[in-house]
């Protein structure tokens, strides 16, 4: 099942129309139609933040959709690239690897 199909199915289960869903998410309903029907160019895939908003409204897990469209929401980008996260990553990269003696 594609991301668009997951979104359409979730919307239908909740008995929401495209216009109502699009309004709740803050996108144009024609864009939602393109999403659901797989008529987007790869460069048109929704941002990570839009995926989160859609999934929140539709009460579905965003992870499979984020992975399929290779999107990262702003909140994750900010936490990954915070000064503290970068410091921890660099400390980890500099730490020696502990190996079991053979």
Q: Is residue 99 part of a domain?
A: no
Q: Examine residue 71 and state whether it is found in any structural domain, yes or no.
A: yes
For residue 15, the 8-state DSSP code is T
pLDDT at 49: 92
Domains contained in the chain, number: 1
Cut 0.85: pTM above it: no
Residue 47 lies in a domain: yes
For position 17, what pLDDT does the model report?
97
User: In the prediction, which pLDDT does 97 show?
Assistant: 65
Residue burial 10-20, b: 16+ Cβ < 10 Å; e: rest = bbeeeebebee
For residue 45, the tally of other CB atoms under 10 A from its CB is: 18
Segments forming the whole domain that contains residue 43: 3-94
pLDDT given at position 84:
80
Residue 39 is inside which H or E element, if any? Answer: none
Query: For residues 48 and 94, what is the distance between their CA atoms, to the nearest angstrom?
Result: 31
Spell out the per-residue pLDDT of the chain, length 102, in tens: 999 999 999 999 999 999 999 999 999 999 999 999 999 987 888 999 999 999 999 999 999 999 888 888 888 887 777 778 778 777 877 877 665 666
């Amino acid at each position: 099942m594609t991301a668009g199909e997951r979104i359409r199915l979730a919307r239908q289960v909740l008995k929401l129309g495209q216009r109502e869903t699009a309004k709740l998410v803050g996108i144009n309903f024609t864009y939602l139609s393109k999403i659901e029907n797989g008529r987007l160019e790869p460069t048109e895939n929704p941002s990570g933040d839009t995926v989160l908003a859609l999934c929140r409204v539709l009460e579905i897990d965003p992870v499979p959709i984020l992975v399929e469209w290779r999107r990262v929401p702003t909140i994750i980008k900010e936490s990954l690239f915070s000064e503290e996260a970068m410091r921890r990553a660099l400390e980890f990269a500099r730490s020696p690897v502990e190996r079991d003696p053979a």
